[in-house]
Structure 1
């Protein structure tokens, strides 16, 4: 079961809410247990925040950040942190998540989720930033493993081992992105099940699934395609290994009609239903 201190999401499948589908969701109730939105899209207030507040009255909502850059050197960007804290206070989400990534250096901000090099000194900086974030929000956050396209020879631990250390030292949770695990397995040859086994499974409060695409021999985490067979298989193996968790279906580019996405959503719900069934007892 998901840890109650980390998230109050229902133990069900959720769907990433994107702008082409908002009016449909507002006009007619959908058979979706919960929605996830990108936090930064609502920092400016106005109509986006008003719409999110309206949806929040009818569904649980998860806030998923893409720009804080917890792995960036030095303290967090003060303005970004305050905007996030204001949004959390207004929406009272069922979960708050960020990426195990960096995006700021020497006054510049990069529009990407850059993987944190697992080198000396990184752990202390991450813990300081996570502590700052959780103290400001007055709640634990979930950290998501990310896709990567290069590796560093000097790295001494895996991403899963780094996440386990962060959970131990800060009390944060984990957002396990199954698609990112598959992307890294295809690009770097890692064993995704072995990596998942290194995680403190009690701290996994949410799971993401999405689609990836290949360009010039490199698998890219585009969120622009249907969920692959490899991701569905790893999801089933993971749920069998750790038990059911809230599962979120993401789609950010080449967004199809909501009716089409709901078919994939139904498949995720079926995986969760199977994982929730009691094991058969044999004589």
Structure 2
């Protein structure tokens, strides 16, 4: 195969070094941890006008902060939402970030393109590696690039399921995406391992085929295998298999940055520090020799100009075809509709249960009062509620809907818990905080009572 350089060169990424995912639960530990060059923070958890003091202190010390988006839905059939793009841009400017990152995934489906209700996955789902999906993704990436004040990098995701009838490998898909848009890549080596276990995809082949010179930085994370399925949990130590993929990647290219992700079950700071050291060691084992002759990364399997996937000329039709396919899949996962042809039914059942479990976990995070009020019954009650009601408007609205459902059903059984849940629902059910004026509170109470009497 004839090799060729990328037609659209991605912008250069500054050297980042070794970093860790900043989370409120480990903010103090991250500030005290030596050798942290930069951090990454979930963009949706930040308010530009009220940034966490910990991040501000890190910024004052010269630590780079990169906002990492999780809800833009660049792989959605619809164009990216302007408000979400504006919010991501505002976070990048508030943090003085050199770039922002998002995922190659779809997170919602339905709506106008399919004349069906809009559904939210509450999770990152894989896009089909087809020409239609690539056309849609490329256009969405360009829209995002035009709306952001700094360069964009996009991340490969982990998946439990595979689309039938795919037309490209992951490496080919990513190569063509970079070639057509100039976007940079955030490569998650833990996700390459996940896709190896769950979908039989060879990480080495993916590294052979993708344009590693376009990498902005690398994610490293842990997971756990249950019943032959690897779950990208970000709640377990980084396994040796993931470190081996990191070593393979860094033998091909010197990435500008490498970052440890941890989202749950945070260990003691000493254990986090040891994981960072194991990551540094994996990188050092394969650091390219600066005296060696330069060889184009991935030259052995680079896509030729003739083989690269050209854009189609039927953008609106491609969007509709992708919309119909994604809506059928998401509806099967969250609304119990028939499984689309070609999908593995058993694996879709695993994914469906994983979506429900994550939904319960995230609602407990965004509304931590609910598990406290409902006690040990929270999870079972929420799963029963969510199993019959797909998410349509995000996790905060999901929490409100669940609380209202419990109250309408006459629960909780304990009178004090019911009063507490009612107060919680009243305080959060409007677009503005309730007024302290007694007459305003009375009017609001009447409206709440009417809302709770309505079916739902």
Which TM-score applies when normalising by structure 2? 0.57
- Kept in 2: contact 1:6–1:95 (CA 8 A): no
Report the counterpart of residue 98 of structure 1 in structure 2.
102
Q: CA deviation at 1:267?
A: 1.5
- Kept in 2: contact 1:6–1:172 (CA 8 A): no
Specify whether residues 152 and 99 from structure 1 end up closer, same or farther in structure 2 by C-alpha distance, changes over 3 A only: same
2:14 to 5, 8, 25: 8
- Aligned-partner Cα distance in 2 for 1:24–1:209: 19
- Aligned-partner Cα distance in 1 for 2:266–2:29: 14
Deviations 1:205-231 (A, max 9, x none): 111110011123211111111010101
- Kept in 2: contact 1:71–1:101 (CA 8 A): yes
Larger displacement relative to structure 2 (35-44 or 226-235):
35-44
- Aligned-partner Cα distance in 1 for 2:22–2:47: 16
Say if 2:61 is the partner of 1:55.
Answer: no
How well do the aligned residues superpose, as a CA RMSD in angstroms? 2.1
Larger displacement relative to structure 2 (146-155 or 101-110):
101-110
Report the counterpart of residue 276 of structure 2 in structure 1.
265
2:222 to 211, 216, 221: 211
Q: Alignment length, in residue pairs?
A: 276
Q: CA deviation at 1:280?
A: 8.3
- Aligned-partner Cα distance in 2 for 1:4–1:62: 18
Deviations 1:77-113 (A, max 9, x none): 2221111111111112133111100112223332100
Larger displacement relative to structure 2 (178-187 or 255-264):
255-264
Report the counterpart of residue 298 of structure 2 in structure 1.
none
- Aligned-partner Cα distance in 1 for 2:192–2:234: 14
Matches within 5 A, 1:168-247: 168-247=179-258
Q: CA deviation at 1:55?
A: 2.0
Report the counterpart of residue 86 of structure 1 in structure 2.
90
Matches within 5 A, 1:24-35: 24-26=29-31, 28=32, 30-35=34-39
Report the counterpart of residue 389 of structure 2 in structure 1.
none
- Kept in 2: contact 1:9–1:34 (CA 8 A): no
1:42 to 43, 46, 55: 46
- Aligned-partner Cα distance in 1 for 2:51–2:211: 39
Greater percentage in strand: 1
Specify whether residues 24 and 225 from structure 1 end up closer, same or farther in structure 2 by C-alpha distance, changes over 3 A only: closer
- Aligned-partner Cα distance in 2 for 1:47–1:173: 26
- Aligned-partner Cα distance in 2 for 1:138–1:94: 9
Which TM-score applies when normalising by structure 1? 0.90
Deviations 1:224-282 (A, max 9, x none): 1101010111111211122344111111111112221011101212233333363788x
1:64 to 61, 65, 68: 68
Report the counterpart of residue 408 of structure 2 in structure 1.
none
Aligned partner of residue 273 in structure 1, secondary structure: helix
- Kept in 2: contact 1:102–1:115 (CA 8 A): yes
Q: CA deviation at 1:167?
A: 0.5
Specify whether residues 148 and 4 from structure 1 end up closer, same or farther in structure 2 by C-alpha distance, changes over 3 A only: closer
- Kept in 1: contact 2:141–2:181 (CA 8 A): yes
Aligned partner of residue 230 in structure 1, secondary structure: helix
- Aligned-partner Cα distance in 2 for 1:278–1:9: 18
- Kept in 1: contact 2:103–2:154 (CA 8 A): yes
Q: CA deviation at 1:204?
A: 1.0
Q: CA deviation at 1:118?
A: 1.7
Q: CA deviation at 1:4?
A: 8.8
Q: Provide runs of 4+ in structure 1 moved above 6 Å.
A: none
